[in-house]
Structure 1
Amino acid sequence: MKKKNAFIIGAAACSVLALSSELAYAQQLADNTPETAELGMLRRQVELQSRELEKLKRAIAEQEARNGDIRKALGLDYLANARGTGPAAGGGAEPAAPVATVQTAQAGAAEGPRQVQVGTAPNAETRTIAPLFEQPGVLTPRGKMVFEPSLQYGYSSNNRVALVGYTVIPALLIGLVDVREVKRHTFTGALTGRFGLTNRFEIEARLPYVYRSDSAISREIFTGSASESAFDTSGKGIGDIEVTGRYQLNDGGATRPYMIGSLRFKSRTGKDPFEVVTDCVTRCIGNTSGTGLPIDLPTGSGFYSLQPGLTWLFPSDPAVFFGSFSYTHNFKRTDISRRVLNGESEFIGTVEPGPILGMNFGMGLALNDKSSFSLGFDINSVGRTKQNGVTVPGSVRTNLATMLLGYAYRYSDKTSFNVSVGAGLTRDTPDLTLTLRMPMSL
């Protein structure tokens, strides 16, 4: 049976070989015609061109892979163009600067949607992260400039016994304990400009204009008065100008965050708290001078400040996690005097505000290629104030905590709109903070 099968298979093979020979001979005869020869030549040319095209495709793919490695090593895939879309430093961040876009984050638009594996760094060109803090989230590319007008509104209502006098910072006052209720409205319009000196270093300048309005309802102590009185005061003018430098410290990626160091200097160009006139007719107690509320509210802190900080951003598509740590040193002033009504002056001496420890963190989530949502938390711990080397009586460490929600929308390749809302979590923090920003890449 096996021999028979082998014979059949051998016969079939012989038949196939014979048929193949006849077909090859027929093809050879056909190839001798002019039309067939020309067709064969065209086929060979097409094959050669196809092989050359394949070589070019492989060369382009290899070049793109090398460019991707270079971008990843320099941190440009994520940070190159995101500034104009909105910022994290910590501010921060800023930040944001965090957030920003992150922003830090914080400009070109991508053409169409893209698919990204979870756990890899998102491309900044398709992400707009709403900045929540003063620190932008990303750095400005070399030679690029970002112009950012902003408007902020803050409201606070204090129904407790509080310190009244001259303001060192918005949450700390020095003076007499007698106010029972204070309602404060603060509007701050600012013009901010950022310029990228290199892909790793940028500088920023901020010019604020402040309008403040306070309404105080109180009953002076030590007077025996049983009636309450209302006192309204306001102030407006240029605030404290700030200058900031930021530098990218490392090459982040999908497995490690981007680290950005910053150094902020705040001047005292705003109206000094010791320059405003204190009311000693409507509010002064007895013949004691300088214990009432100021007639005009200051627009600046009255002290130079220096704030080093560290902002981190960790992209994990479709979210970006960000946060910052900062320390603010307020330089003391000597030989200070404050003005009281009728042109008189009261000598105060040396005043040294306490340092401020700050921390914030949050997350930016991209909703699509044009909008994003951010959630963050910011806390600052303000140290005790000293006067003439002695802690001011009644001065205690103050904690300011705020929960922030933000939304960003990219209107065009170079312009975006950012809105953030902050809610105070401690009694010393403003009850409401609303901030509008419109970063524009030039």
Structure 2
Amino acid sequence: MATQSIESRAGGKRVTWVVVLIALSVLLNYVDRGAIGVAAPLMKEELGLSATGFGLAVSAFFWVYAPACLFVGWLCDRFCVYRVFALGVAIWAISTALTGFAGGLVSLIILRLFLGLGESIAFPGSTKIFAAEVPAERRGIANAAVAAAIAFGPAVGVLAGGAILGEWGWRPVFWIFGAVTLLWLIPWQFAAASMRARAHAVPASERVSIRQLLRVPALWKMSVVHFLSNYGFYFLLAWLPLYLVNTRGYSIGEMTALTTLSFMTQGVVALAGGWLSDRMVARGANEGEVRRWLMVAGQLAIGTATAGIAVADGYAMLAVWLALAGFGAGLIATNIFAVGQIFAGPRAAGSWMGVQNALGNISGIVGPIVTGLIVDYLGGYGYAFATAAALSMLGALLWWRMIPEIRTLDL
């Protein structure tokens, strides 16, 4: 018994370290992904990009990222997910660093495509690992760590990137961020070593094919609400710095403070929401319903805040609306992946999240181009903010009325 207890504690510590490193990788994922938004005020001018051209560059990431999630999710269910994860991180780190050498729209788009390929591992891979290693009563805090990283990544990226941007220009932003991400591979090799050694592919007789998954209505419904939750978040992530500096007239320092406030709020709310949901589940609450209503609240909050940002009068009101946007995004990011893990179970978690994340991230392809066209041809950001707010509100309605009972499905 004593030996089993020691082994259990040791295994728990290993899982904890792997969860921490996965969260750190997601933080770096969003630092690197959001670097283009931070660099935009100087990059756009130096490279001669129109708003439509900049939107194309942002969108290019998702041209590969979304479909690659399908393939990567399939890989995670059939090969060692820990090795696949490391390979993806290496690809995106190198792509980030090379973006600092971009000379125009074409090279920028090519490097964004490779960045999307590498970063496609993040959520199918983390979902597969969490579904296999993390018990239900700790699912909230594990996903909250990732959700907090989704928030703190842009916050760190804006703070560090803004400082680098102001001191040395936009190119070193990418060089430094890419190099730091490469260093992550060192602790990962040690922390995941024991899990790599015992990792086994799902037996062929127990595998769930993507074709089978595509016949499950709940997966399509989850993909729709994932699309709607991503649209508003990606809109703010990619366009907010440019909007605040070029349209509202704030300095880079003021832009940095405002966007950092939103992302820091998102991170704190994600951790608090994950802890609270785990406590509720441990005390007997229905996990699926807890996560459903947290998603409804998150969608309502970010939709309201997006509309508020567009009409806010003054710095203080902008700060209030951006904090509310962070509140909503924190609840969404904690629960969107946790619900997918519940539906899929350990056997099909990688493939399920590959499909859900691929379809959900079509918003990243469509959104930046739509926003760029609106800004260039409709004369401003008003309609762009209205579109993002309306889609977030629609997401709240669909979580309430369309998503079925949240439980592990018999696949």
Q: Same fold (TM over 0.5)?
A: no
| TM-score bracket for this pair, using the shorter chain length | under 0.3
Computing the radius of gyration from Cα coordinates, the structure with the larger value is 1
The higher relative CO (CA closer than 8 Å, separation ≥ 6) is in 2
TM-score, length of structure 1 as denominator length: 0.23
Which one has a larger percent helix, Structure 1 or Structure 2? 2
